[in-house]
Amino acid sequence: MKAKSKSYVTSAKTMYAAMTILKKNGGSMPIRILMQEVEKNIELSAWEKSILESTGNIRWQSIMHFTSVDYVRAGFLIKKKGNWTITPEGEDALKMGAEKLRDEAGERYKVWYRGKEQAPGEKPIVQPEEENDPAKETMIELETLEERAANGIREYLKSKNPYEFQDLVASLLKAMGYYIQAVAPRGKDGGIDIVAYTDPLGAKTPRIKVQVKHKPDTATGAADVRALLGILKAGDIALFVTSGTYSTDAKHAATSGDKFIRLIDGDEFIQMWQEYYDKMSDEDKNMLPLKRIAFLGNNE
């Protein structure tokens, strides 16, 4: 039997670890956090940790990114705006084990590649070698650019003070079509930072009560989530927005009770700001200005 290459072994174990971590953490995670968790959970050799001279990237991370395209085409994984999500089929496929899962994803990618649309009379498509696949290279390049852009926005958010972040959240809600009844002034707010309505007069329910935490390097815990749930009244729903993340216990606390609370972490806030940016006033846009750049893409 032919010995497995170093790249193959790395791709199999890193992707298996990534998908296992996704399954254990609700199915979806930002790729930057997922990478951190993968590194904590597997043993990496000096070769895997080395820097690629051609790109300046860490070898195992580059291999994992490149291989992940197979898992997407296989239907095991979904990538969207910096988040990776394991599919139900992907969860079931974990039973195969690391190497068999890697092989299955690779075979499915080959089937997808051979089935790409061809012009009449065009020669059959021949799949390029693994290390020289333009389709994968283009996808990874776009993902890398998107992640760099998101990192720039994260650093910009870190520079804001808590009240500026609170105003950003209010501006996002306005762009989403909500009417802002109140934004808490500086000082004690009683646990509610923003109150929003679904109609201009506030006559309709539900009322949206929002707690905002600007702690970009901290995971908000269950105690904060329960405190917000404790002050909700009939006709209220809660929204908790943080510039950081949420602990597993906090996520459980948000879904285990009979009151509705929606958690939005820093990565999702950035995604939502990008999504609703065009609907904002110029004044609100200037609070966290974006510049859009178009890339050639496809409909696949």
For residues 231-245, average pLDDT: 89
Asked if the model's pLDDT at residue 207 lies above 70, the reply is yes
Rounded to the nearest integer, the mean pLDDT of the chain is 85
What was the pLDDT predicted at 297?
57
What was the pLDDT predicted at 295?
62
| Weakest mean pLDDT among 2-11, 76-85, 112-121, 193-202 | 112-121
Of residues 30, 15, 22, 24, the one with CA closest to residue 63? 15
- Percent of the chain scored above 70 by pLDDT? 87
Q: Which carries the bigger pLDDT value, residue 220 or residue 131?
A: 220
What was the pLDDT predicted at 127?
42
Of the pLDDT bands very low, low, confident and very high (cuts 50, 70, 90), residue 107 is very high
For residues 47-70, average pLDDT: 89
| DSSP assignment string, the chain | -PPPPHHHHHHHHHHHHHHHHHHHTTTEEEHHHHHHHHHHHS---HHHHSBPTTT--BHHHHHHHHHHHHHHHTTSEEEETTEEEE-HHHHHHGGG-HHHHHHHHHHHHHHHHHTS---TTPPPP-PPPGGG-HHHHHHHHHHHHHHHHHHHHHHHHHTS-HHHHHHHHHHHHHHTT-EEEEEPPSS--TT--EEEESSTTS-SSPEEEEEEE--TTSEE-HHHHHHHHHT--TTEEEEEEESSEE-HHHHHHHHSSSS-EEEE-HHHHHHHHHHHGGGS-HHHHTTS------------
Asked if the model's pLDDT at residue 126 lies above 50, the reply is no
Residue 69 near residue 55, CB atoms below 8 Å:
no
Asked if the model's pLDDT at residue 112 lies above 50, the reply is yes
* Close Cβ partners of 82 (under 8 Å, ≥ 6 residues apart): 30, 31, 32, 143, 146, 147, 150, 267, 271
For residues 194-209, average pLDDT: 86
| Sheet bearing 28-30, strands edge to edge | 28-30, 83-86, 77-80
Residue 194 in tokens: 């923003």
Q: Which carries the bigger pLDDT value, residue 258 or residue 144?
A: 258
Residue 219 near residue 246, CB atoms below 8 Å:
yes
Of the pLDDT bands very low, low, confident and very high (cuts 50, 70, 90), residue 124 is very low
What was the pLDDT predicted at 123?
45
For residues 69-76, average pLDDT: 94
Query: Residue type at 98?
Result: A
Compute how many other C-beta atoms are within 10 angstroms of the C-beta atom of residue 288. 22
Residue 253 near residue 230, CB atoms below 8 Å:
no
Asked if the model's pLDDT at residue 96 lies above 60, the reply is yes
Q: Which carries the bigger pLDDT value, residue 210 or residue 115?
A: 210
* pLDDT tens column, 134-190: 667 666 777 777 777 778 888 899 999 999 999 999 999 999 999 999 898 877 655
For residues 212-236, average pLDDT: 89
What was the pLDDT predicted at 296?
60
What was the pLDDT predicted at 262?
93
Asked if the model's pLDDT at residue 50 lies above 80, the reply is yes
What was the pLDDT predicted at 1?
54
